[in-house]
């Protein structure tokens, strides 16, 4: 797998947007399309379902040399030996944690942690906590984060000027606004709906990947 610093396109298997498609099959198409990371996002699904889906997807991403990221469920990630887990601010800091080592312990199978951020202070806190990468957003309003106000391109500009760990712009990003995100200083983006909503998932990935630096 590439270092996060060399990654550009972060894609998702979001169970709310699969339209009946097989999750592992979608993951394979994302990998074929050039995604550097594939996150399983299964809000509202049971732990048993998430464990099964993660176990199905992990061999697909591993064979492709792509990061598999499990959203929220770090305990399942530890159990399955996933390479990365992603947590929100509330799932990490509000749960009483202050540093990534509190999750990892001595478990070498669980090396990477991504944290969400919605403001500069949250990003700085995530970096201080030892996050391997930080998500910056939502840049634009998005249905995947209902009720969460957009942070706008101003936050992307701040991240470009201030963050010294890999960071990914996320939230409502698609082909029509990608240039504005890149012009604001982003070099890595997370894309959910614009890829999963396409008839050709792999093709949508390729089209976006070609436009990234």
Among the ranges given (73-77, 79-83, 100-104), the one the predictor scored with the smallest mean pLDDT: 100-104
Place of tokens 């998702």: 12
- Strand, coil or helix: 18: coil
Q: What would the pLDDT profile of 11-49 be if each residue is shown by its tens digit?
A: 999 999 999 999 999 999 999 999 999 999 999 899 999
CATH 2.60.320.10 for the 4-210 domain, yes or no: no
How far is the C-alpha of 45 from the C-alpha of 114, rounded, in Å? 21
- The band of 175, judged by pLDDT with boundaries at 50, 70 and 90, is very high
- Using DSSP's 3-state secondary structure scheme, residue 150 falls into coil
pLDDT at residue 140 is higher than 90: yes
Q: Of 77-81, 129-133, 146-150, 201-205, where does mean pLDDT reach its minimum?
A: 146-150
CA distances, 53 to each of 8, 77, 120, 169 (Å): 24, 12, 34, 26
User: Is 103 in a helix, a strand, or coil?
Assistant: helix
CA distance 148 to 98: 24
Percent of the chain at pLDDT > 70 equals: 95
pLDDT surpasses 80 at 147? no
Please say if the pLDDT value at position 68 is more than 90.
yes
b/e code 117-150 from CB counts within 10 Å (16+ = b)? bbebebbebbbebbbbbbbbbbbbebebbeeeeb
Q: Is the pLDDT of residue 130 over 90?
A: yes
């Amino acid at each position: 797998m590439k270092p996060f610093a060399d990654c550009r396109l972060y894609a998702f298997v979001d169970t709310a947007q699969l339209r009946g498609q097989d999750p592992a099959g979608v993951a394979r198409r994302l990998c074929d399309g050039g995604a550097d990371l594939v996150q399983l996002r299964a809000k509202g699904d049971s732990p048993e379902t998430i464990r099964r889906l993660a176990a199905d997807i992990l061999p697909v991403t591993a064979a492709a040399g792509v990061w598999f990221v499990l959203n929220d469920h770090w305990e399942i990630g530890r159990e399955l030996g996933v390479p990365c887990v992603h947590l929100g601010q509330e799932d990490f800091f509000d749960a009483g944690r202050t540093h990534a080592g509190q999750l990892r312990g001595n478990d070498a199978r669980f090396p990477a942690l991504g944290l969400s951020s919605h403001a500069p202070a949250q990003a700085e806190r995530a970096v201080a906590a030892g996050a391997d990468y930080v998500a910056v957003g939502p840049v634009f309003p998005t249905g995947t984060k209902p009720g969460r106000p957009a942070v706008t391109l101003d936050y992307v500009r701040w991240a470009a000027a201030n963050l010294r760990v890999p960071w990914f712009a996320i939230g409502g990003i698609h082909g029509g606004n990608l240039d504005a995100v890149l012009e604001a200083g982003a070099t890595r983006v997370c894309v959910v709906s614009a890829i999963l909503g396409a008839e050709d998932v792999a093709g949508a990935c390729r089209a976006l990947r070609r436009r990234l630096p």
